[in-house]
Amino acid sequence: MTTMASTAINQDIFEYSLRLGDDALVLSHRLSEWAAHAPEFEEDVALANLALDLLGQARTLLSYAGEVEGLGRTEDDLAYWRDDRQYRNLLLVEQPNGDFAMTITRHLLFSTYQLSLYDALAPCSDVTLAGVAAKGAKEARYHRDHAALWTLRLGDGTAESHGRMDRALQALWPFTAELFEGDQILERLAIEGVAPRSESLRPGWDLFIRETLEAATLEVPATTTWRSGGRRGVHSEHLGHLLAEMQHLHRSHPDARW
Amino acid sequence: MPAGESSAWEVAAGVADPELPDLTLEDLGVLRSVDVGPDGEVAVVLTPTYSGCPALEVMRQDVIAALRSAGHQSVRVDFQLQPAWTTDLMGPRGRERLAEMRIAPPPPAGSGPLLQVSLKCPQCGSLRTRETSHFGSTSCKSLWRCLACGEPFEHFKALY
């Protein structure tokens, strides 16, 4: 019985590590697309720094997923040899970069969520997940600060920058409900003390986002059409294109090493 | 402490940081432990400054190479995330070395996030400085400019 129980919880931890690892990996890739294209040099460096933090988190999380799964899959196997239906990231992080306002808005919405999540996960019982969270929370705090400063500057900037931020918010807001969706996996992990319930992250997220948007003279969109499915592998069309680019080299040269 | 442990520590502690070669891994506060097992295997534990620090692999290789050339044939290097690294783990010597490299060091240990006063320019000592970018050439540094002497400089940013 003990073995069966621990196998079941391992399956849940595997799924959970994939979710968090895929969020970090996919968003890291998106941000890296800005390299050499950012509106100013400092932002080029900043976005690459953010991408690097997320990539580091993804590496530990995917390595751990492979370890918990017990089938010998490495971080590279999981990153490069899964198709979109096997990816577990939020739809929000796979959305295209769009203009700079879109990228900043996406990062504000995500990093505020990730910081709440990591803060809540750090005292949990799984040593590896708690370790990634404690480390990642320090990074997510920088990320959120960066996104919030730009949100203020652009939202409360010119008519052009305000309009772009407004359009970005309208476009991305439908993806935010997914951040706080629960399911049986999360419920079991919460009961075991491994992970926080996602709905518990909502009040802190709401407060910070609403205060930031208000200070930036932006309005919270009145959306009722929500999009979700990423945690079950049902993605928007954008993820397939992202993976094609990210995985192409590795799949063309299997087992190539640096 | 079994024989060889203190010398193994000294060897690992003296390895230079790949990105800030005037600082050792000990100065930086990333060397967590060095244990010599009964079979002579040296187990080194390092902690990363940032999750994605690209210098980690080089650190691992440099530690292994240094210990091998000091006569330790079997060396293992592991990375430990918890407790997470903070700039409070950087000792006074590390801060001095940074200042000598003209990189403004992080605030003193224990000062906490509230004491983020203006930085002192490592070139001319003026306090009339401002941050130009929170993100610099490496994850651990930000970019600043001195308004007095006009020189840009790097700051090893505080992480709590």
Residue appearing with tokens 């970018």: B133
Measured between CA atoms, the residue of chain B closest to residue A42 is: B133
Say if CB A72 and CB A78 are below 8 A apart: no
Sorted by where each begins, the domain ranges of chain B are 3-85, 100-156
The DSSP code sequence of B48-94 is -SSTT-TTHHHHHHHHHHHHHHTT---EEEEE--SSPP-GGGS-HHH
What is each CA distance from A238 to A39, A101, B48, B49, B62, in whole angstroms?
Answer: 23, 18, 33, 33, 41
State the average pLDDT over residues B70-75: 94
∠ CA B39-B13-A128, nearest 5°, is 70
Higher per-residue confidence, B139 vs B83: B83
To the nearest whole Å, the CA of A217 is away from the closest chain B CA by 24
Structure tokens at B77: 């290097």
State the average pLDDT over residues B25-42: 95
Q: With both helix axes pointing from N to C terminus, report the angle between A41-69 and A100-121 in degrees, rounded to the nearest 10.
A: 40
Contact across the interface for A135 and B82, Cβ inside 8 Å? yes
B152 touching A, CB under 8 A?
A: no
Write the residue in B53, B84, B86 that is nearest to A56 by C-beta: B53
B48 touching A, CB under 8 A?
A: yes
Measured between CA atoms, the residue of chain A closest to residue B79 is: A60
A24, pLDDT greater than 90: yes
Please report, for chain A, how many H helices and E strands are present, in that order: 10, 0
Model pLDDT for residues A25-46, shown as the tens digit of each residue:
999 999 999 999 999 888 999 9
- Residues B81-90: b if buried by 16+ CB within 10 A, e if exposed: beebbbbbbb
Q: Which residues of A touch B32 (CB under 8 A)?
A: none
Structure tokens at B83: 């407790």
Contacts for A254 with CB less than 8 Å, ≥ 6 apart: none
pLDDT at B111: 65
Q: Which residues of B touch A144 (CB under 8 A)?
A: none
Q: Which residues of A touch B139 (CB under 8 A)?
A: 49, 52-53
**DSSP β-bridge partners for residue B33:** B45
B136 touching A, CB under 8 A?
A: yes
Contact across the interface for A45 and B137, Cβ inside 8 Å? yes
Helix (H, G, I), strand (E, B) or coil at B144: strand
The conformation of residue A201, written as its DSSP 8-state character, comes to: G
State the average pLDDT over residues A92-104: 98
Q: Does domain B3-85 have CATH number 3.30.750.200?
A: no
Write the residue in B82, B86, B134 that is nearest to A142 by C-beta: B134
Write the residue in B82, B86, B135 that is nearest to A130 by C-beta: B82
Q: How far apart, in whole angstroms, are the C-alpha atoms of residue B130 and residue B125?
A: 13
ipTM comes to 0.82
Type of residue at B46: L
pLDDT at A240: 98
∠ CA B159-A79-B137, nearest 5°, is 35
A56 touching B, CB under 8 A?
A: yes
Helix (H, G, I), strand (E, B) or coil at B10: helix
Model pLDDT for residues A76-86, shown as the tens digit of each residue:
999 999 999 99
The conformation of residue B129, written as its DSSP 8-state character, comes to: E
A237, pLDDT greater than 50: yes
Among the listed residues A70, A147, A139, A75, the one whose alpha carbon sits nearest the alpha carbon of residue A104: A147
To the nearest whole Å, the CA of A149 is away from the closest chain B CA by 11
pLDDT at B112: 60
- Residues B16-47: b if buried by 16+ CB within 10 A, e if exposed: bbbbbeebbbbbbbbbbebebeeeeebebbbb
pLDDT at A1: 41
Model pLDDT for residues A43-89, shown as the tens digit of each residue:
999 999 999 999 999 999 999 999 999 999 999 999 999 999 999 99
B113 touching A, CB under 8 A?
A: no
A vs B: CB pairs below 8 A:
72
State the average pLDDT over residues B120-132: 92
A139 touching B, CB under 8 A?
A: yes
Q: How far apart, in whole angstroms, are the C-alpha atoms of residue B31 and residue A79?
A: 30
Contacts for A32 with CB less than 8 Å, ≥ 6 apart: A47, A48, A51
pLDDT at A254: 85
Contact across the interface for A132 and B51, Cβ inside 8 Å? yes
pLDDT at B117: 65
User: Which of A29, A41, A42, A129 should we substitute to test contact with B (largest number of B Cβ atoms within 10 Å)?
Assistant: A42
Give all domains of chain A, ordered by start, each with its CATH number.
Answer: 3-252 (1.20.1260.10)
Measured between CA atoms, the residue of chain A closest to residue B87 is: A138
Write the residue in A45, A128, A134 that is nearest to B136 by C-beta: A45
pLDDT at A257: 76
The DSSP code sequence of A41-85 is HHHHHHHHHHHHHHHHHHHHHHHHHHHHHTS---HHHHHHS--GG
To the nearest whole Å, the CA of B142 is away from the closest chain A CA by 9
pLDDT at B116: 57
Model pLDDT for residues A112-142, shown as the tens digit of each residue:
999 999 999 999 999 999 999 999 999 999 9
Neighbours of A164 (CB within 10 A): 21
Measured between CA atoms, the residue of chain A closest to residue B136 is: A45
To the nearest whole Å, the CA of B132 is away from the closest chain A CA by 8
Say if CB A118 and CB A86 are below 8 A apart: no
Higher per-residue confidence, A71 vs B111: A71
State the average pLDDT for chain A: 95
Type of residue at A127: V
pLDDT at B110: 67
B118 touching A, CB under 8 A?
A: no
pLDDT at B114: 54
Measured between CA atoms, the residue of chain A closest to residue B160 is: A138
Q: Which residues of A touch B50 (CB under 8 A)?
A: 52-53, 56, 139
B97, pLDDT greater than 50: yes
B137, pLDDT greater than 90: no
